[in-house]
Amino acid sequence: MSDFHGVVTLVAAKEHACCECHSVITKASQYDRDFGAMDGRGFSYKTCLPCASAREWLDKKLRQMNCLNADEGIKFGDLHSELVEFASEERFLGVESLRLLLDIAQRRNDAGKFQGEGS
């Protein structure tokens, strides 16, 4: 098996959608591109930098708590639900998890408004 994973920070040559909050990554702004292969299938995900740093924070927390094995990670697209779960286990008293959760909720809400336009 040749599973691998890499991440690079790129400057958008055109608009993309963030795989976590679905907001628009505007042309010329920076974003993270995760790429690799898992179980023989290639993958590529684009993430806006605020979501990328939220994922990094949560990933570190979960590893500290032994909730993630070395070869595991937060599934792409699941950051919001993982943050909800983490924050609820802290009984919504963790300042940082709550802040990250509110931030991603706001971006998702804004992205939803854009998608709703003109339809």
**Is residue 18 close enough to count as binding Zn ion by CB under 5 A?**
yes
Contact partners, residue 53, CB within 8 Å, separation at least 6: none
Minimum CB distance to Zn ion, residue 89 (Å): 23
Size of the site for Zn ion (CB under 5 A): 5
**Toward Zn ion, which CB reaches closer, 3 or 114?**
114
Beta strand segments in the chain, E: 4-11, 16-17, 24-25, 30-38, 41-48
Q: What are phi and psi of 90, to 5 degrees?
A: -90, 10
**Is residue 51 close enough to count as binding Zn ion by CB under 5 A?**
yes
Give the binding site for Zn ion (CB under 5 A).
Answer: 18, 20-21, 48, 51
